[in-house]
Structure 1
């Protein structure tokens, strides 16, 4: 599984949304942020792929729309748009996903990992709060896939640059510090497999499981507590 790229959704929109829903009894929405992100995993990557992204929580899950989704009575949800899981509906168990480029008072409604086909979009603020709109095609309910997390604090990522041209036992990586949506610093890190298959970067242990002849790299990672 390859770690996907994360796109940060505007935090100002989230603050405005919180103010809009305050005291709304019809929509008992609570903050959907998570306090930690799983730090154990594995992947298989090619040159140029992101191997790992470190998040500093609280974080919010993000989802990517895989195809254009038609909503009865509303503009279509654009393909490849990123939606952030900002609220949980304590009454229904649904999660409300927002995208400030689509509408500040409307949310995609997700339940059990899929869009609710009958109540695909819900309005949770404004004059018509509690109004809902269905999917034009119920089959579009699965057109939403996890895309990582947003983060509010500086973080970092590890990118695989491929094998060293002079020594194919040397793996080349770049470590990028991230603040918001910007990269604020980048350094190169090389690991020689002659010294072992594992290495530690900023408290995270990486282990090379297989180095493919095609340049791919299978690996695992875990927090080094």
Structure 2
């Protein structure tokens, strides 16, 4: 059965997904299955709901970075032009801490480690799709085992670099693809299971004289079953 995309969020629905708000930025909990941008064929997208997030400012917020359509969790928005430019520099220079929760098929023998594997584009026709490429861009991911289940492992993954599809390619190329990955793993082209990749925590040093803003997004419902099987206690 083909999985229908997530419908357009109403104003109330996107407001309910605001995890953090200050004068410079918002951090929202992006649902899996909803692209952040409007595609060439139109359709539901996250940006179309941003008008509900002005909170008194004259313009809606804008994306400071992006998450894949099928990835859920913490997404940072700049509330005005200067803030968005500052956030863009923080992301560009690797100053923002990002932790993703994944459930992978199989899993590493060790309990933690680092993947240092350059990535390049698969080919021109596939656009964003990536592959391991010794001549490609530097790509580094730190990972730690959070729990193990029958044939699956729950990992916390921290991308040191921010390449497109980095965690998905690194996991698959290392021999433990992310569960539900329909590009690099064994997931179906359409339908269940959804990609088990969630932007769990983000740490943003937005103000020089204040502690960094640390935000955690709750695990999405579609990951609960596999996370519990790997020892997650529901928090």
- TM-score w.r.t. the length of structure 1 is 0.22
Q: Which has the higher contact order (CA 8 A, sep 6+)?
A: 1
Larger strand proportion, structure 1 or 2?
1
Please identify the structure whose Cα radius of gyration is greater: 1
- TM-score w.r.t. the length of structure 2 is 0.22
Larger helix proportion, structure 1 or 2?
2
